[in-house]
Amino acid sequence: MVVVEIVIDTSAILAVIAEQPEKADLVTLTRGAILVAPASVHWEIGNAMSAMFKRKAIGIKDALQLLEAYAAIPIRMAEVGLKQAVELSAKLNVYAYDAYILACAINERAPLLTLDGGLRERARELKLDVLEAKSR
């Protein structure tokens, strides 16, 4: 049996834990796979929560439920070199968080699963495999 690894980003994780329309397809795409992400994803989840607080989209009770759902997702955190990420950031004109994800996909030789259109395009520029999730 071949074990497939998939690099997952914050947008896909948030869609799953927040029960977004793409959730069913994301779960299907990742069934049986090992999910991998750079450690920065952990902090990006927290940043997303703070952004939702600022927009008054959620309260602390909702955030804690989302964090509980996030904690239940088995994700292997992979090391990504800062130099590699900074070089990718400069080359592609992206934020470091996106560069960490791209570096992770490169280093792990794994397809990327994201709902972020800009990140998807940068991944394609790098000739990385990108998995597509459909919204319902």
Q: What is the pLDDT of residues 6-39, one digit of tens each?
A: 999 999 999 999 999 999 999 999 999 999 999 9
Q: Do 7 and 37 form a contact (C-beta atoms < 8 A)?
A: yes
Residues 60, 36, 99, 116, CA torsion sign: negative
Cα–Cα distance, 36 to 111 (Å, whole number): 10
DSSP 2: P
56 confidence band (pLDDT: 50, 70, 90): very high
CB 66 within 8 A of CB 26: no
Strands 112-113 and 75-78: unpaired
Residue whose pair of structure tokens reads 């439920």 in the numeric block: 65
3-state secondary structure 69-85: HHHCCCEEEECCCHHHH
Which pLDDT score is estimated for 3? 65
User: Is the CATH code 3.90.1170.40 the one for domain 5-131?
Assistant: no
136: pLDDT strictly greater than 80 = no
Mean pLDDT score, 80-92:
97
Is residue 1 over pLDDT 60? no
